[in-house]
Amino acid sequence: MKHMRRLFSLLSLVLLLWGSAVAQDYTVGQLLRDLDAKRVREVSFDGNGNATVTLVGDRREVTVVPPTADFLTRIRESGAEVNVRSARSPFAWVFQLLPIVLLGLFLFVMWRSMRGAASGGASNTFGRSRAHVFAEGSVKVTFTDVAGCDEAKADLQEVVEFLKSPERFHQLGARIPHGILLVGPPGSGKTLLAKAVAGEARVPYFSISGSDFVEMFVGVGAARVRDLFEQAKKAAPCIVFIDEIDAVGRKRGMNFNGGNDEREQTLNQLLVEMDGFESKHDIIILAATNRPDVLDAALLRPGRFDRQVVVDAPDVRGREYILKIHARKKPLDPSVDLGVVAQRTPGMVGADLENLLNEAALLAARDGRTRITMTDLDDAADRVLMGPARKSRLVPEHDRKVTAYHEVGHALVAQLLPHADRVHKLTVVPRGRAAGYMLPLPTDRIHYTREVLEDTIAVALAGQAAEEVTFGEITTGAQSDFQKATNIARKMVTEWGMSQRLGKVANLSENDTFLGGFTERAPYSQLTAQAIDDEVKRIIDEQYARVKALLIEHLAKIHTAVDALLVRETLSGQEFSTLLAGGTLDALPAPKSRPTSSA
């Protein structure tokens, strides 16, 4: 563009000099002499004062700015014709034709693109696959870099063996699954697991997202699918990984606008390509989704995606292994116990745990330390779960005491009930929207008995019960506690058959997806609905009365723990157990005035 501007300026200068030279050859004085001699046939003026003089047998140009009335009269008296034309730039035609040229060029490009997409040609950018291609051996991820999903790795190990030595399977007449669907919550490691299969097998790896197939132009998605599989057949044996396949593989017939939309055409082409595999191609299709419930049934039938591999959230041992993998390049203090960190992070997947370690590293760097301590990991876990600490928030002393008794009530009941999760930490430091919190150390369970559920409800209710026992009144701080207790009690009655009054009847059915379940109400009468409400209230009332009696019995221990919590602001589970057993903590001042019990 810069060179074009220079060329244009040079051309303008040449034309200007050329015009000046012409004007110097023929002057106004010569024009007047030619007029007197009757040698001028015609004089044409433009808007810039330039005159083109046509002589008998000659043509000259001269500049007269402006042409006066006497000058025009003298021209007419000589018998010459006078014409006036508008000023016209020598480049005006360029600006007139430029929009037409640009429009024609745009229409030509669009026509070529749509023609290539409709014909399935991959010679244009629209119809070419957007897959990222990794050459053989370029993927360095292996199964040792993946933890927390041992069963999924075992299912995929035979895929690795097939890609390494397909002849051994072909001799036995075995057919490896054409497609394997990885199903799991977001961040559980589905993409990492697909890379690990390619890294273990040392074969080419094609990676693409389901949304990369879909475009606004009809036929582009199908062309990209064809191009992807053509490339894969040339590189076989290889792995094709389609991430978020639900973007293109949703159930057909859900287009409310009518007709056959572009996404359905793309899905149809994908089904055709997966059916067209031959045994000699040795192409394995891996796909990942967290919404298997929305996929088209034709996509999941045998011969296409033959197998589903669940990559679920890891258990406590899997979380510890994941933490060890992500901590390999981070300097940890010898006091760090990743087993404790894994135990206090139930439900977290690999992406959450990697983020937790990164937050701990940021905290250590912010404080100027060269190693990550257990305190950093503990604070990072709190930050990920509940948000940053709000230490600068001004909290009235009475509110701090209410929060302290509330959290100590939770902690005391959690330590005393046999089936409750033990205390890991309790604090009165505001974090997120919570004025304080008691953090339990959860136990990974598959089955929950009635006793476990009742003790969980009791721990949730203990905070407000401690406020009532100590101050004689309750506050709004137990809102989330009552929501948790009510949800558990309602599920006990409506889903888990733990109510003698209603019996073994499921009055609610939950449809689970990896994005979270949604509950559907089963048809039941108004009388049953009233019975459900009565049973939920009975469970809540029984556990509240049980907790209140337990707190009154151990009121002195509550006061001791609250005094220590108000001074230190945070107590570990071990420190709380020491106080509960009658021990003392170092450097604690004398107890302050306590509220009068209303029990």
Strands (E), 244-360: 283-289, 305-310
Residue span(s) of the chain under CATH 1.20.58.760 come to 397-580
Q: What is the mean pLDDT of residues 543-564?
A: 92
What's residue 394's pLDDT?
73
Residue 9, SS3?
helix
Give the active site residue among 273, 359, 407, 454: 407
Mean pLDDT of 367-380: 89
Task: Say what the pLDDT of residue 535 is.
Answer: 93
* Distance from the Cα of residue 493 to its chain's centroid: 37
CB-based contacts of 76: which residues, under 8 Å, 6+ apart?
82
CATH 3.40.50.300 in the chain: give the residue spans: 113-310
Residue numbering of the annotated binding site for Zn(2+): 406, 410, 481
For residue 572, what are the β-bridge partners? 425
Q: What is the CATH number assigned to the segment(s) 397-580?
A: 1.20.58.760
Separation CA 204–CA 198 (nearest Å): 7
Q: How many helices (H) and strands (E) does the chain have?
A: 20, 15
Annotated binding site for ATP: 184-191
Q: Where are the beta strands (DSSP E) in 184-315?
A: 205-209, 238-243, 283-289, 305-310
In the chain, CATH 3.30.720.210 covers: 2-84
Coil, strand, or helix at residue 317? Answer: helix
> Looking at the chain, which residues constitute the CATH 1.10.8.60 domain(s)?
323-386
Encoded tokens for 240: 């094709």
CATH superfamily, with its number, for domain 113-310: P-loop containing nucleotide triphosphate hydrolases (3.40.50.300)
Judged against a pLDDT cut of 50, whether residue 425 lies above it is answered with: yes
Helix/strand/coil (H, E, C) string of 502-548?
CCCCCCEEEECCCCCCEEEECCCCHHHHHHHHHHHHHHHHHHHHHHH
Side chain identity, residue 475: T
Mean pLDDT is lowest, of 63-67, 117-121, 285-289, 550-554, for 117-121
pLDDT greater at residue 15 or residue 38: 38
| pLDDT of residue 406 exceeding 90 | yes
pLDDT tens digits, residue range 233-282?
Answer: 888 888 899 988 888 888 877 654 544 567 788 888 888 888 765 555 57
Q: In this structure, which CATH number among 3.30.470.20, 3.40.50.720, 2.60.40.10, 3.30.720.210 belongs to the domain 2-84?
A: 3.30.720.210
pLDDT for 278 equals: 55
Q: Which pLDDT score, from 0 to 100, does residue 259 have?
A: 43
Write out pLDDT tens, residues 210-225: 887 776 566 677 888 8
**406 vs 518: which has the higher pLDDT:** 406
Which pLDDT score, from 0 to 100, does residue 487 have? 93
Residue 116 neighbours by CB under 8 Å, 6+ apart: 122, 123, 124, 126, 127, 223
The pLDDT tens digits for 78-101 are: 777 776 665 555 555 566 677 787
Measured torsion, CA atoms of residues 301, 304, 307, 309, in degrees rounded to the nearest 10: -110
pLDDT for position 552: 93
C-alpha torsion angle, residues 130, 134, 135, 137 (rounded to 10):
-170
Whether the CB-CB separation of 281 and 236 falls below 8 Å is answered with: yes
The pLDDT-based confidence of 7 (bands split at 50, 70, 90) is very low
Return the pLDDT at 454.
94
Whole-number average pLDDT of the chain: 79
Residues 491/456, Cβ–Cβ less than 8 Å = no
* Segment 440-483, tens digit of pLDDT: 888 878 889 999 999 999 999 999 999 999 998 988 888 889 99
Token pair of 234 as six digits: 């040339």
Global pTM reads 0.66
> Could you count the other beta carbons within 10 Å of the beta carbon of residue 471?
17
What is the spatial distance between Cα 403 and Cα 397, in angstroms, rounded to a whole number?
10
pLDDT per residue over 300-333, tens digit each? Answer: 888 788 888 888 888 888 899 999 999 988 999 8
User: What pLDDT score does 416 carry?
Assistant: 92
Digit-coded pLDDT (tens) for 500-533 = 888 888 877 655 555 555 555 667 788 888 999 9
Residue 468 falls in the annotated catalytic set: no
The arrangement of secondary structure in 323-386, i.e. its CATH architecture, is: Orthogonal Bundle (1.10)
Given a cut of 90, is residue 410 above it in pLDDT? yes
Q: What pLDDT band is residue 128 in, cutting at 50, 70 and 90?
A: low
pLDDT band at 360 (very low <50, low <70, confident <90, very high): very high
Q: Is cis: bond before 237, omega within 30 of 0?
A: yes
